[in-house]
Structure 1
Amino acid sequence: MKTELVIASSPTDAGISCWNLHTGAEHLRFKTCSSPPHGLASVAGRFLASSQIRDPKSSSGSILYWSWNKPQVEVKSFPAGPVKPLLSNSEGTYIVGGGISGGIYLWEVATGNLLKKWHAHYRGVTQMVFNDDQSLLISGSEDGCVRVWSLFKIFGGANREEAKNLYEYSFHEHTLKVTDIKIGCGGCNAIIVSASEDRTCKVWSLSTGELLRNIVFPSIIDAIALDPWEHVFYAGGRDGKIYIAALNAPGTSNSSYGLHIIGSLSEHSKAITCLASSADGSLLVSGSEDGMIRVWDTKRRNITRVFRHAKGPVSNVLVVRRPQHLNPGTSTNTQASSLRGYGWPLPPPLQKYANSVDENAYIKAFISPQSASNKLLDDSYISVQTMEKLIKELQKQGSSAAAELDVERLKMVIMLKVPMVDICVVDDEF
């Protein structure tokens, strides 16, 4: 079994804590971190990144990087506008930030280049997730809206007039702020679970855009975790309880909590703020405003371990695989010295603005006409790997030479991967 780490942060300046999930051994405590909910990310296990908003009234914010071998911040970035939720794709090639103004920023990690920014919501972005094949980005907002974005279209260079067509779905059934989003497996056939301050969690079909289930809870839900087998999901309430909701059970329930709610876990003294699951789903990790992090055995529904992060609330918990160079059982005092010379060099800071006026010359792809019976999100959908190759080609050539790319050669590359896609080069205004 792969060793997993629990990583936790706080909205106050309490740093980042890191423990071995299975043994309880503490690793480094990282300093100087005040991360909002969903503002902490492990970038492909190579380093940690966190958004920072120290003053809610401020018009500025930052994104900080920590390597595994130093407790101090090593890289600081300052986006054009403050971001709260922060997300990395599984390979660590991109970082996505959700702005408090409703915009979404997408950077390339290796270069720090700002590849794309678009106006995604009318109010601040609260949460973002990728689907498992990384082709779609799902975002939630303070306006109660959940939207599904096609990276194919985002990188296709649609202009501002076409921006309304960049999303595949826009769900407006929540009446208050979206607090969390989780997505299951299955690519474009997955389910999406969204939570809101309206005390509901809603289950959506990604393939059809239909609302499959609406579950009303006794409390506002701020955090959800999806069982890897997708039989149930866990919903952390402001009343300190973690509710267990059925995804596949019939529409009846013997629970006193309500329809589809089959049980609860209760030990925290204050609101549940964040949830995470081990890879096999046997352990559930919960963080709370009481400053405690509890590890639950999901089968027996009892607590197996308790961690104390620091004074003040916990805003984020992550469960990640332990990097190979991070020695298990090493004490906090000796961890830094034992890791010197190991790990990956950190990438440069993220750009505040684009490099040049023509940096948004992207490859635009059009899906050939299909029969009415075919869904938009089907097997002909371009993969993110193909998109990445096109972007790297543009970067090699230089943005000023984008219009002179060998279009026929690029067409051949795409034809081999996605037979139904035609390519042309367009200039897009940011």
Structure 2
Amino acid sequence: MLSEEFVSAICGAPLSSNTAIAKDVGIYCHALSPTYSVKSTFKKNSAPPRCLAVSETHVFAAQHEKAYVHVYSRIRGNQEAFVAFPERIRCLTLIGDVLVLGTAEGRVMLWETCTGRLVSTPARHVQAVSCVVATPYHILTGSDDSDIHVWSLPQLLELDSTAEHEPERTLSNHRAAITSLSASPSVSVDTNFCVSASKDKSCIIWNYQTGDVLRTLLFPSSPLCLSLDSSSRAICVSCEDGSLYLTELFGEAPLLGPQSEDSATVVQVSSPFGATQQDVGPASCLALSYDGTTLITGHPKGQLLKWDVANNKTPLELASLNAAVTNLVFVSPFPTAKATKTVNIVKPNQAERNYTFTAQLESRLDGDSRFDSLLNTPGFLQETLESAIAALEQQPVAESGSEQELRKQNEELWEIINEQKALQKQTLQRYVEAKARHS
């Protein structure tokens, strides 16, 4: 069975003097399946919402109302570094080896953890950056000023750039502060979309590369946090009144795609998937498992609840952390194919201009790569020819719909041509007969 792990973070003082709970623990690493357990913990942390990021080797946690980020090593199981920044950090996310941070002054900072390079943008938001999310080529930042900026990641990381950093576009349909953002991992301009939640009691689905509003979802109360499942087919939303909503994007009445109704731009969402008890409080953070069947929610009273999305049963309490749970992040169960591994992070430094890449190689350098084999072999490799032949053999024999339509049109055209030829021959024969009679 594939194991599933997630990381949680708490913020604030302990809720009770329970001696059974370890003191000074701020981050918990949990195993969800096959059986639930707490695998490891990290101390000295107080991370507010949207201030936790997890990689294969490290955990990054921004501190409440401070300009600090604590870095923990998952390999060694201890705190590796204490990193200071010029401004207070309000949110952060991780893309590859780059940590993206949103500040209380409305800036975006990018820290290359393998080189120490730090890139900072001007304060393009007039208020604090409340949430940030990254895709393979873009960064999206939401703010208390109700705007969402879309940034080009390659432009932000460009070396020797003298121009001031500007967002590609601004999404500005919300009327209140942005509380949460989530984006699909697609890289196509036609299928790229993100979902934003706001205190104006709405969630908007955007095509962030074009700036178009695809759908607007209205809720009875303000959304606190949201999450897209791993396949981007459903949105899970937690609201202030304690309700949880699960909205399918491609269900029987799809909100997106060619079968959706373009006229219904605004959709009222009124049927909750579940609701928490008043003594538990609304979910301040949530995360969906990679198979989309399990939902984990964290609450201000310290509870971690497990919801069965498929059967919609009564939630199961996994643990009580004795402090407000503010962050939940699922760890990907699929290993990423990377040539390097970050063992020790390099602290940010804006004064440097020459940087050294520090990482551990994950593969041998003396072995021939596939490119080397293709380059040094006269003609084509035997395995390349065999794979090409196998691909041709697997091609479908049946004609597609367009080919059948084209064949039908050709047959009709030949029928018309043959009729014209017969008519021309008959006319010419009558002309010859008439001329013979007159002569």
Paired residue total: 322
Find the counterpart in structure 2 of residue 138 from structure 1.
Answer: 140
Whether 2:156 is the aligned partner of 1:120: answer no
Alignment of 1:73-152 (within 5 A): 73-89=79-95, 91=96, 93-131=97-135, 134-152=136-154
Alignment of 1:204-223 (within 5 A): 204-223=206-225
Whether 2:68 is the aligned partner of 1:62: answer yes
Cα drift, residue 294 of structure 1:
1.3
Whether 2:238 is the aligned partner of 1:240: answer no
Cα drift, residue 267 of structure 1:
2.9
Alignment of 1:29-428 (within 5 A): 29-43=41-55, 45-53=56-64, 56=65, 60-68=66-74, 72-89=78-95, 91=96, 93-131=97-135, 134-156=136-158, 157=161, 159-160=163-164, 163=165, 166-187=166-187, 188=189, 189-248=191-250, 249=253, 259-268=268-277, 269-303=280-314, 305-321=316-332, 345-351=343-349, 354-356=350-352, 359=353, 395=355
CA distance in 2, matches of 1:304, 1:260: 22
CA distance in 1, matches of 2:27, 2:168: 36
The answer to whether the Cα contact below 8 Å between 1:3 and 1:321 also exists between their aligned partners in 2 is no
CA distance in 2, matches of 1:396, 1:66: 22
Cα drift, residue 70 of structure 1:
5.2
Q: Deviations over 1:332-383 (max 9, x none)?
A: xxxxxxxxxxx963313333xx125xx4xxxxxxxxxxxxxxxxxxxxxxxx
CA distance in 1, matches of 2:162, 2:171: 21
- The amino acid that maps onto 1:114 is L
CA distance in 1, matches of 2:356, 2:220: 55
Asked which structure has the greater CA Rg, the reply is 2
- The amino acid that maps onto 1:30 is F
The answer to whether the Cα contact below 8 Å between 1:195 and 1:201 also exists between their aligned partners in 2 is yes
Q: Deviations over 1:163-215 (max 9, x none)?
A: 4xx32220111111111101113214311100011111000013421111111
**Gaps spanning 5+ residues in structure 1: where?**
253-257, 325-342, 360-393, 398-430
The answer to whether the Cα contact below 8 Å between 2:195 and 2:204 also exists between their aligned partners in 1 is yes
Find the counterpart in structure 2 of residue 374 from structure 1.
Answer: none
CA distance in 2, matches of 1:322, 1:184: 18
Cα drift, residue 303 of structure 1:
4.7
User: Alignment partner of 2:41: what SS?
Assistant: coil
The answer to whether the Cα contact below 8 Å between 1:128 and 1:140 also exists between their aligned partners in 2 is yes
Q: Deviations over 1:114-169 (max 9, x none)?
A: 134442311111111112xx110011011111111012332342523xx4xx3222
Cα drift, residue 304 of structure 1:
6.1
CA distance in 2, matches of 1:154, 1:77: 21
Cα drift, residue 262 of structure 1:
4.8
Between the aligned residues of both structures, percent identity stands at 24
Find the counterpart in structure 2 of residue 15 from structure 1.
Answer: 26
- The amino acid that maps onto 2:324 is P
The answer to whether the Cα contact below 8 Å between 1:105 and 1:118 also exists between their aligned partners in 2 is no
Larger relative contact order, structure 1 or 2 (CA cutoff 8 Å, min sep 6): 1
